[in-house]
Amino acid sequence: MKAGRVQAKAGRVQAPSEPLPYARLDDLRHIHATTLLLAGIPVHVVASRLGHADPAITLRVYAHVIRSAEAAADVFTKASGMSLRTSVSKGVSKKPSRMIREGF
């Protein structure tokens, strides 16, 4: 297979429609970590994947991602007109036992 080509499912070789943008290995690593954190993967799992000895390193490097996700959740909560406590008291939450353990 020539460089710059991908193998299609049907077995034919197709050229990509557009070349991929330039990205360093560190850029791809950062995108991977950011995507995992935004998907709700626990920090200790992301830290382990990145090879960080301590999740605190991951938290320091990716704190902006976690803060922006929390801010987005706050905006959604305000827009929906429902607080977390309201949703628990109305039985909307699917896992109230977890929220009780976490102090909500």
How does pLDDT run across 19-29, given as a tens digit for each residue?
A: 888 989 989 99
Residue type present at position 44:
H
SS3 96: helix
CB atoms within 10 A of CB 92: 11
Is residue 8 in some structural domain?
no
Q: What is the mean pLDDT of residues 4-32?
A: 78
Is residue 3 in some structural domain?
no
| pTM (predicted TM-score) | 0.55
Among 37, 26, 35, smallest CA distance to 59 is for: 37
Is residue 13 in some structural domain?
no
Residue 95 belongs to domain spanning: 25-101
Is residue 83 in some structural domain?
yes
Work out how many domains the chain is built from and give that number.
1
